[in-house]
Amino acid sequence: MIPGARLVVLGKQGAGKGTQCVRLARHYVIPHISTGEMFRAAVKGGTEFGRKAKAYMDTGELVPDDVVIGVVRERLDQDDTKERGFCLDGFPRTVAQAEALEELLSPRGLDLVLDLEVPTDVVLRRLATRRACQDCGENYSIDSPPKSAWICDSCGGEVVQREDDNVGAIRRRLDLYEKETAPLIAWYMRADKLVAVDGIGSPDDVTGRLVRAIDARRARHA
Ligand code: ADP
Q: Of the listed 93, 126, 131, 209, which one is catalytic?
A: 93
Distance 215 CA to ligand 1 centre (A): 28
Clarify whether 130 is annotated catalytic: yes
Question: Residue 64 is inside which H or E element, if any?
Answer: none
151-196 pLDDT, tens per residue?
A: 999 999 999 999 899 999 999 999 999 999 999 999 999 999 999 9
Whole-number Å distance between alpha carbons of 209 and 195: 11
pLDDT of residue 222 exceeding 80? no
pLDDT of residue 17 exceeding 90? yes
Helices (H), 17-94: 17-28, 35-45, 48-59, 65-76, 79-84
Count CB neighbours of 27 within 10 A. 16
Clarify whether 125 is annotated catalytic: no
Q: Are strands 130-133 and 159-160 parallel, antiparallel or unpaired?
A: antiparallel
Residues 6+ apart with CB under 8 A from 215: none
Residue 214 CB-half CA count within 13 A: 26
Q: What's the pTM value of the predicted model, to 2 decimals?
A: 0.94
Give the DSSP per-residue string, 111-130.
SEEEEEE--HHHHHHHHHHE
pLDDT of residue 218 exceeding 90? no
pLDDT category, 137, cuts 50, 70, 90? confident
Answer yes or no: is the C-beta of 97 below 6 A from any ligand 1 atom: yes
Clarify whether 162 is annotated catalytic: yes
Count CB neighbours of 109 within 10 A. 12
pLDDT of residue 1 exceeding 90? no
Q: Are strands 5-10 and 32-34 parallel, antiparallel or unpaired?
A: unpaired
Query: Under DSSP, is residue 105 helix (H, G, I), strand (E, B) or coil?
Result: helix
| 8-state DSSP, 208 | H
